[in-house]
Chain A
Amino acid sequence: MTAPPHRADRRRYRWLRFASPRAFYPLAGRAIPWFTASALVLLAIGLWLGFVVAPTDRQQGEVYRIIFLHVPAAWMSMLLYLAAATHAAIGLVFGTKLSHLMSRAIAPTGALFTAIALWTGAAWGKPTWGAWWVWDARLTSELILLFLYLGYMALVASIEDPDRADNAGAVLLLAGAVNVPVIYFSVQWWSTLHQGASIKLDAAPSMTHTMLAGLLVMALACWAYSFATAFARVRCLINERAALEAQA
């Protein structure tokens, strides 16, 4: 006779249940409005802090306010890639369908944030550096990240068999993950035109508290937006995969 499962085990199994697309689908649906509302509220607060409360920069004047979008977008571009790669690794190791679908759902939003980071960087670079673009280590590695996102999306879209597409895409995501630390540490490893990190975990920030608050609130808004779009997209992907399996 087997012993009844311990309460902690039961709780763990309850969470594992959400690794099933059928169980995750309604959960994601319920979470989307909350993340959307959070993103809108945080965006409004972040823009207010960034454009009204934060003071003008003594050296750069008003143009530094691009930082309130540029830095959170750059953070999200790397974090979303790591999130997609982590899901890909879990999908490869455990064969969980939902993990691969989450990778697919995260990638377009990650590519969007990478494009935004590059675009806002160019719009900031022109008035401060005098150039829209330089082949600097930070900029070049961020551009490679955009190509990795686009390459991943193109690869999974081009392979007809969804399981093979998932596995091939996962391998590409994992191989490309080496680029993320290169982006992050590029300003330390090489002599770059791009400035070093303004916020470090082991040092006080090199900006006023209001600037820092605006930056962090905008980063939270980007997080909430990413959750909302990834969950909305994964619901579509779950539907599409179910239709595909019903045809087979």
Chain B
Amino acid sequence: MNSLQDHNFFILIAYGVPALLVAAEVALLWRRGRAHRAQGGSPAVEDRP
């Protein structure tokens, strides 16, 4: 394996694994948000800080 291919492998894993992690976070948030939206509307919380 020459140096350039070797570097490409490290660049690929350096960007690929974070892309998967970000995709997982977005998917989990999307699913959680969808569950809340299915329950309907904005929350009935008291209007104070």
Contact = CB atoms under 8 A, between A and B. Distances in A.
Contact of B49 (A96, A233, A235): A96
Interface residues of B, number: 29
Given A96-B49, A97-B49, A229-B26, A242 B44 contact: yes
Interface in B20-49: 21-22, 25-26, 29, 32-33, 36, 39, 42-49
A70 B13 CA distance: 12
Given A232-B33, A239-B39, A63 B49 contact: no
Contact of A62 (B11, B21, B26, B32): B11
Q: Could you tell me the dominant secondary structure of chain A's interface residues?
A: helix
Counting contact residues on chain A (CB < 8 A from B), the size range is 35 or more
Nearest to B42: A25
Interface stretch (A119-127, A149-157, A191-199, A202-210): A119-127
Q: Could you tell me the dominant secondary structure of chain B's interface residues?
A: helix
Nearest to B26: A229
A124 B44 contact: no
A245 B25 contact: no
A127 B44 contact: no
Closest 4 interchain pairs by CB? A242-B43, A19-B49, A123-B14, A63-B7
Interface of B: 3-4, 6-8, 10-11, 13-15, 17-18, 21-22, 25-26, 29, 32-33, 36, 39, 42-49
Interface of A: 16, 19-23, 25-26, 61-63, 65-66, 69-70, 73, 94, 96-98, 108-109, 112, 115-116, 119-120, 123-124, 126-127, 225, 229, 232-233, 235-236, 238-243, 245-246
